[in-house]
Amino acid sequence: MQKILRKICCILTAAAITISGIQQPEAAQTQGDEYQQGISPHAEDKEGVTVYTREEFMAALKQQHSPITVATHITIGQDVDTDKRMLPVKIPGNTLIRGTKDSSISARSPIQLEGDGVCLQDIKIMFESSTALGSVPHREIFLAGHSLTMDNVDTYHGGNIGMGDTEDELLPTVYAGGYSNTAVGDNASLTVINSNDKTMFQAIYMGNDEGTDNKTPYYGEAVLNLDAKPIVRDGVDTALNSRAEINITAEENKVVKTKQFYGNDNTTLTLNQASMEDVELDGVGNIVLKNKAGMTPLTQQFKNITLANGAWLDLSKAENARITGDFSGVSDAAAQRGILVLKQSGSLTIEGKVTGTTQFQTGHRLFPSYFLSGKSYIFASDGGGSEPNFLLAQKSIDDGYTLEYENGEWKVYDRQPIVDEIGRIEIISAPFKVDLRKIPYQEDESIPDETVFFEINWYDLQEEKFSDADILEYYGFYEDNYVIRIRTEYWQSDAEDLLDKTDWYQSVSLMASEEHPGKYYLQAFDGATPGDYTFLFCSEPFDDLSTVGDVKALKDTVMAEKRVIFYNEDQPEPDHTHTFQSTITREPACTEAGIKTHTCECGETYTEQIAALGHTEVTDPGVEPTETEDGKTEGSHCS
C-alpha cells in the first residue's frame, strides 16, 4: 500500500492544488489535508527513459520524456550567462525525475521549473557551487510560479571543500520566483514528502523580490506542504505573498525540525498531528493547530489562533503573551478540547473574539501544575456561548482550584489550605542505572516499570512528615516545578563557560501511585537521552529554567540530590566503579563491637566491625562518714 501511495505522490503534483482563498481559522481547515490527492493529467502520457550521462539527461529534458530515471551519478549545469552567472537547468512541466539505489545528481547551477507537476523522487541532488576561490554560489531551486513535489530527496552536501570555501554545508534555497528575466506562473507550490534525515534546505522563500542578483519576483499566492523531517536552516518566508498556506502534516508526536516561519496577515500555518518546539513565528497571520498537534513558540505576539480536536498551545516560555486577533477552540466532544498552557506567573491577552471552549492549565500539557491564587491569567471578552470559553483540567478542579470570569479577566482561586514549608527531604532509595527503553510514558498514565522508582519522604520545619497523599499531589513536590534533572558534569562543575548552556535537561519525570504511597516511578518522554544526570529536589517551586546558570542559582533551595545514569540501545549499560562513603551505624561500647557501613551510590553496601573499646577504669575516692550520712571506701568503675 505504501508503494502505491508513493507512486501516486509522484504521478501526482501540487499543480492540482489551486487557491480559492485562505480558509478562516475558525473553520480549522486548509488545503494541506488534500495535498497528496492531486494527480497530473499528463504525466502518464509521456514516454519514460533511463539516462546514464549528462548529455542523455539534458536530451531527455529537451524531448520532455517522463519519467526520467537517473541510473548513475551525473553532473549538470555548464551554461554561463553573459554576466558569468551559471544559467539554470530547466525542467519541463509534468516531468518525473527519479533515482536508483546508487544514483545522484550534482548541480553546478540553479534548477528552474518550466511548468507545473514536476516531481523529484528517491534521489540525491547535490548543489556543488560554493564560495571557493571567491565565487558566488548558485544553489537555487526556482519554482518560477509552478508546482514541485520532492519525494524522498536528499539535498545535503558538505562544505569546506577547499580553495577558500568557508561553508560547512552546501544547501539549496527555494525561490517561488525565477532566474533573471524569465517568465513565471501564478501557482507557486512546493510539496516535500517522505523526507529523510538529509532533506535539507538553506531557506524557502514562497515569495521573493529581485534581490541583489535581479531575480524575477513572485508576490502571488503560494502553497507549501511539508512533513516533519525537512530542515530549513534559515526558515520559511511568505512575508511577500498576497496569500500563502503552509501545511505541515506528520504522525502524532513527531517533532517538526524547521524552527522559523515568516509571514504576513494573509499567511496561514496549519499544523496537523505533529508538534513544534521552540518555534519562532514572525508576522504569521493565522495559526491552525489540529488533531492533537501542538506548538511551544518562543514568540509572544500572535494574530489569529485556532486549536482544533485536541490540539495544544504551550505559551509557558512567554511571560505575557498577546493575541491581537481571534482565538478559537474547535472540538466535537469534551475529550477533544484544545489545551492552552501558560507559565505560572504569566498571562495571555486576547484582543479579538473568543469562541469555543478550551482547557486552560499551567506547567505541562500532560501534567497540570499549580496556580497563583487570585491571579488573572487570561484577559479577554466573554464569547457569550452556552459553555465558558475556558475550563480547568479535572485534576486542577480536584485539587481545589476554580476558574472565574470577572470583568474581562479569567481568574484562578485556590480553595486548598496552605501547608508549612519544606524543612527536609529524605531519599530512602533510588535506582542508579536505568534503561530508558523500560520506562516510556504511557498514554493511559499507567506505571511503565514498577521496579524503577524513587522512595522519598518530605518533612516540614517541625520534622513532621508530609504523609497526606492529597497534599503531596496538590503541591506537586515530586513534579517538574520542584524537581530538576541536570547533567551531572554540569552540576558538579564550577566552570563559568557552562553557565550559558541550555542542553542540561533530561525529559524524565516522577509519577505517584495511589497503590504505592511514597514511591515515585520514573517515566521517560520524547527527548529523553542516555547519560549521567542528577535529580535535584528543591524546597521551593521554581518557574522557567533555561540555562545551567538558572539551575545553579537555585542551589540554596536544593535539599536532596540523587545521581542516575540512563542508557539505551545507542548507549549501552555503563560499567561502574564503586565509590563508597562510610558511616558509623553503631557506635562501639566497652564490651560490644561497633559497625561501620560503606555505601556506594549504586546501592551496594558492606559493613566492617569496629573493635569494642574495653573498660577504662576510673578510681572512686573514699568518703568519710558524717553524723547523718554513711561513708564510702575507695573503689573504681568503668568510665
DSSP string, 362-390: EB-SSSB----TTEEEEE------SS-SE
Q: pLDDT band at residue 38, thresholds of 50, 70 and 90?
A: very low
Mean pLDDT of all residues in the chain?
A: 86
Of the two residues 124 and 584, the one the predictor is more confident about is 124
What confidence score (pLDDT) does residue 602 get? 62
Instruction: Give the global pTM.
Output: 0.66
Query: Are 360 and 392 a contacting pair, CB within 8 Å?
Result: yes
SS in 3 state form for 392-429?
A: ECHHHHHCCEEEEEECCEEEEEECCCCCCCEEEEEEEE
What is the average per-residue pLDDT within 461-486? 86
Q: How far apart are the C-alpha atoms of 14 and 177, rounded to whole Å?
A: 16
What are the residues whose beta carbons fall under 8 Å from the beta carbon of 103, sequence distance 6 or more? 70, 71, 72, 73, 74, 123, 124
Phi, psi for 16 (deg, rounded to 5):
-75, -5
What confidence score (pLDDT) does residue 400 get? 85
The conformational region for residue 155 under phi > 0 = left, psi -120 to 50 = alpha, else beta, is: alpha
What confidence score (pLDDT) does residue 137 get? 73
Q: How far apart are the C-alpha atoms of 542 and 551, rounded to whole Å?
A: 10
496: closest CA among 445, 451, 552, 578?
Answer: 552
- The conformation of residue 632, written as its DSSP 8-state character, comes to B
pLDDT tens, position by position, 491-521: 999 999 999 999 999 999 999 988 888 899 9
What confidence score (pLDDT) does residue 162 get? 59
| Strand 409-414, strand 401-406: pairing | antiparallel
What are the residues whose beta carbons fall under 8 Å from the beta carbon of 187, sequence distance 6 or more? 15, 18, 116, 145, 146, 147, 221
CA 320 to chain centre: 21
What is the average per-residue pLDDT within 285-293? 96
